[in-house]
């Protein structure tokens, strides 16, 4: 198992840049279109509720989670 289980920072940045531009990214490892899931957080009235995007590769099952508002990795 020489292949790392997580994406590198560079791979995550490339994926996020494609999503920010309105595109659908391909997995940096297997070149398969990634699945995008929107994740809402928190209950009503809670100040820490976040909106996130979860990008999942259907082949290798690696994923990346981003905070939509800040555009950062969490």
pLDDT value at position 46?
Answer: 56
68 by Cβ neighbours in 10 Å (0-12 / 13-18 / 19+) ranks as middle
Whether the predicted model's global pTM rises above the 0.75 cut = no
Nearest residue to 65 via CA among 33, 36, 31: 36
pLDDT value at position 1?
Answer: 45
Averaged over 28-56, what is the pLDDT?
79
73 by Cβ neighbours in 10 Å (0-12 / 13-18 / 19+) ranks as middle
Averaged over 37-60, what is the pLDDT?
76
pLDDT tens sequence across 1-40? 456 788 999 999 999 899 888 899 999 999 999 998 888 7
Averaged over 28-57, what is the pLDDT?
80
pLDDT value at position 39?
Answer: 81
Element (H, E) at 11: helix 9-20
Q: How far is it, in rounded angstroms, from Cα 66 to Cα 74?
A: 6
């Amino acid at each position: 198992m020489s292949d790392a289980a997580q994406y590198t920072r560079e791979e995550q940045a490339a994926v996020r840049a494609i999503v920010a531009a309105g595109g659908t990214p391909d997995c940096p490892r297997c070149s398969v279109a990634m699945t995008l899931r929107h994740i809402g957080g928190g209950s009503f009235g809670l100040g820490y509720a976040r909106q996130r995007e979860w990008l999942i590769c259907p082949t290798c099952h690696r994923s990346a989670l981003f905070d939509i508002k800040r555009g950062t990795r969490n």
